[in-house]
């Protein structure tokens, strides 16, 4: 909406930097959108300074600035245009209830601007987190071929997030306003130390600084719903009124490092993707399929009938399953001190593992161990039931799949690279379909896409494409600022 500041400058610079080909143009739009202001809000006095905006956009590297009139955007007037309605769940919290119609106005104008410009990418600030999330849902929902890139909040040296409305603050008011970022940052620190945050206390502290509190809330970062657990990463957001100026800010509460769940059928590329993600985000890699394979190997080598519950229970009681991760991110699997890393990939184990993975006692024992490994968070786990049964509180759930033909092709090349004899593609495809059938029809924890998982179909995508897509989705929920690639 203009009155550009350092936050906008960062959006422009990031757009320039992210274009590896340097052939794209960065367009800055300046449009003070009347549809997103309520009757008693500051549309009339909102700061306008197009001359400065042009200078800042140019200095930051923009190719052009576009400041259309109201008529250029809404030919025939606003009332002759379609108005969008944001789904009520996305505006049920934070600014939504306090600013009725605001996000509808934002959505309506954004779709109009985007269809006029048709950009490849849209750079938006993370400071307006709810707006960013709503626009991600909108673009996804309408299937617009535009990638949204969120850029982290830029703060002034005193900690106040840049906002065009900061211009309204007198020096005294600004001093008071600083309590907002300071108290939010303190809360985030407390949570990192294992303490909890009392929202009522936080509100009282803000009020002690003469800030009139509109809301202090915690919501999950993507669906913007109240969080049911204090075990999950969430957003702590607040809006205050400081001498007539409305200020918003937020922080992330991280009671534990992130958990990513990657489920899906055999051969969808889960292992390669999960290992690479763990390495890029510096998280532990947990291959739960390897655990089922190791138990299968043990049952096979001890000639145990999987139907013999007592014999299986005996094996589980004495089970010592170790997953050791090397510096390079590779995982060694030891069962009762035998290194089975390679042998569990053999066709013999592969053809029997679904049967063993369907045994209740095996699933119970391994699920307990997996939950234990993830108790402090900080991992990427792959399997079939990670998002549904093992880590239902995961911060990101991906259901990675591919057609059976594609998975058979990949399995053949995997077997070849491991030195095992390959079967013909039709046999492999039939085997894969049979494994899918057993895995998805078993009684406990069947292979199932969790309701809140994102499905990625990897046919025609390279492994790098899949990893990049998942990283992008991850960072749309837990920004780079909070958990960067190559996290230390």
Shortest distance (Å) from residue 443 CB to ligand DC: 12
Judged by CB, which is closer to ligand DC: 179, or 390? 390
Judged by CB, which is closer to ligand DC: 10, or 435? 435
Judged by CB, which is closer to ligand DC: 406, or 439? 439
Residues 6+ apart with CB under 8 A from 180: 160, 206, 211, 238, 240, 247, 249
Shortest distance (Å) from residue 122 CB to ligand DC: 37
What strand order describes the sheet that includes 321-325? Answer: 321-325, 331-335, 338-339
- Site for ligand DC (CB under 6 A): which residue of 266, 278, 333, 478? 266
What is the DSSP secondary structure assignment for residue 159, as one 8-state letter? Answer: S
DSSP 203-250: HHHHHHTTPEEEEEEEE-TTT-PBPS-TTS-EEEEEEEEETTEEEEEE
Shortest distance (Å) from residue 430 CB to ligand DC: 15
- Site for ligand DC (CB under 6 A): which residue of 163, 274, 288, 476? 288
* Footprint on residues 371-410 left by ligand DC (CB under 6 A): 383-386
335 phi, psi to nearest 5 deg:
-120, 125
- Site for ligand DC (CB under 6 A): which residue of 37, 292, 474, 483? 292
Shortest distance (Å) from residue 404 CB to ligand DC: 14
Q: How many residues bind ligand DC (CB under 6 A)?
A: 14
471 phi, psi to nearest 5 deg:
-60, -40
Shortest distance (Å) from residue 342 CB to ligand DC: 13
Judged by CB, which is closer to ligand DC: 37, or 292? 292
Judged by CB, which is closer to ligand DC: 9, or 333? 333
CA distance 296 to 471: 33
Rounded to 10 deg, the angle between the 360-373 and 347-357 helix axes is 100
Q: Using DSSP bridges, classify how beta strands 396-401 and 454-457 pair: parallel, antiparallel or unpaired.
A: parallel
* Footprint on residues 62-81 left by ligand DC (CB under 6 A): none
Q: 121: which 2 tokens? A: 């990418």
Q: Which stretch binds ligand DC (CB under 6 A): 42-50, 106-114, 253-261, 287-295?
A: 287-295
C-beta separation of 422 from 345 below 8 A: no
Q: 177: which 2 tokens? A: 């306003």
Shortest distance (Å) from residue 107 CB to ligand DC: 39
* Footprint on residues 172-201 left by ligand DC (CB under 6 A): none
C-beta separation of 104 from 129 below 8 A: no
C-beta separation of 35 from 152 below 8 A: no
DSSP 237-288: EEEEEETTEEEEEEEEE-SS--EEEEE--TTSSHHHHHHHHHHHHT-EEEEH
Shortest distance (Å) from residue 289 CB to ligand DC: 2
Judged by CB, which is closer to ligand DC: 111, or 353? 353
* Footprint on residues 415-474 left by ligand DC (CB under 6 A): 435, 439
Tell me: does residue 127 bind ligand DC (CB under 6 A): no
Binding mask 336-355 for ligand DC (x = CB under 6 A): -----------------xx-
Shortest distance (Å) from residue 323 CB to ligand DC: 13
Q: What is the dihedral of CA 158, 162, 165, 169, to 10 degrees?
A: 10
Helix, strand, coil % in the chain, rounded to nearest 5: 45, 15, 40
Judged by CB, which is closer to ligand DC: 60, or 288? 288
Residues assigned a catalytic role: 8
Residues 6+ apart with CB under 8 A from 148: 121, 122, 124, 132, 135, 136, 139, 476
Judged by CB, which is closer to ligand DC: 234, or 266? 266
- Site for ligand DC (CB under 6 A): which residue of 233, 357, 379, 404? 357
Interacting residues with ligand DC (CB under 6 A): 266, 288-289, 292-293, 353-354, 357, 383-386, 435, 439
């Amino acid at each position: 909406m203009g009155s550009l500041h350092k936050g906008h400058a960062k959006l422009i610079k990031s757009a320039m930097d992210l274009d590896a080909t340097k052939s794209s143009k960065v367009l800055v739009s300046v449009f003070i959108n009347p549809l997103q202001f309520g009757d008693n809000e500051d549309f009339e006095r909102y700061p306008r300074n197009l001359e400065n905006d042009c200078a800042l956009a140019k200095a930051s590297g923009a190719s052009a600035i576009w400041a259309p009139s109201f008529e250029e955007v809404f030919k025939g007037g606003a009332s002759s245009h379609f108005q969008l309605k944001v789904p009520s769940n996305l505006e049920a919290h934070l600014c939504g209830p306090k600013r009725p119609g605001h996000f509808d106005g934002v959505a309506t104008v954004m779709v109009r601007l985007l269809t006029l410009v048709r950009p490849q990418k849209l750079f938006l600030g993370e400071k307006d987190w709810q707006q960013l999330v709503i626009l991600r849902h909108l673009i996804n929902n309408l299937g617009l071929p535009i990638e949204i890139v969120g850029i982290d909040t830029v703060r002034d040296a005193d900690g106040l997030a840049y906002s065009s409305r900061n211009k309204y603050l007198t020096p005294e008011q600004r001093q008071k306003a600083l309590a907002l970022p300071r108290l939010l940052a303190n809360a985030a620190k407390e949570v990192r130390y294992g303490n909890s945050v009392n929202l009522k206390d936080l509100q009282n502290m803000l009020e002690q600084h003469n800030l009139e509190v509109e809301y202090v809330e915690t919501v999950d970062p993507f669906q913007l719903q109240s969080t049911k657990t204090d075990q999950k990463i969430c957003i702590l957001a607040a809006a205050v009124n400081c001498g007539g100026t409305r200020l918003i800010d937020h922080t992330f509460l991280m009671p534990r490092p992130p958990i990513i769940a990657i489920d899906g059928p055999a051969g969808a590329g889960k292992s390669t993707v999960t290992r690479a993600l763990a390495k890029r985000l510096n998280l532990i890699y947990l291959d739960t399929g390897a655990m089922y394979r190791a138990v299968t190997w043990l049952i096979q080598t001890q000639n145990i009938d999987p139907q013999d519950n007592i014999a299986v229970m005996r094996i589980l009681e004495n089970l010592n399953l170790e997953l050791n991760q090397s510096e390079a991110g590779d995982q060694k699997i030891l069962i009762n001190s035998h290194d089975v890393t390679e042998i569990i990939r053999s066709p013999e184990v592969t053809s029997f593992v679904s049967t063993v993975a369907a045994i209740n006692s095996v699933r119970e024992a391994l699920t307990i161990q997996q939950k234990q490994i993830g108790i402090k968070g900080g991992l990427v786990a792959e399997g079939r039931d990670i998002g549904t049964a093992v880590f239902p509180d995961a911060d990101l759930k991906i259901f990675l799949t591919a057609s059976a033909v594609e998975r058979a092709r990949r399995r053949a090349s995997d077997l070849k690279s491991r030195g095992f004899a390959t079967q013909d593609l039709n046999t492999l495809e039939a085997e894969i379909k049979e494994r899918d059938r057993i895995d998805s029809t078993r009684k406990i924890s069947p292979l199932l896409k969790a309701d809140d998982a994102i499905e990625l179909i990897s046919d025609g995508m390279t492994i790098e494409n899949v990893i990049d897509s998942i990283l992008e989705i991850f960072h749309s929920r837990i920004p780079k600022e909070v958990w960067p690639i190559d996290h230390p």
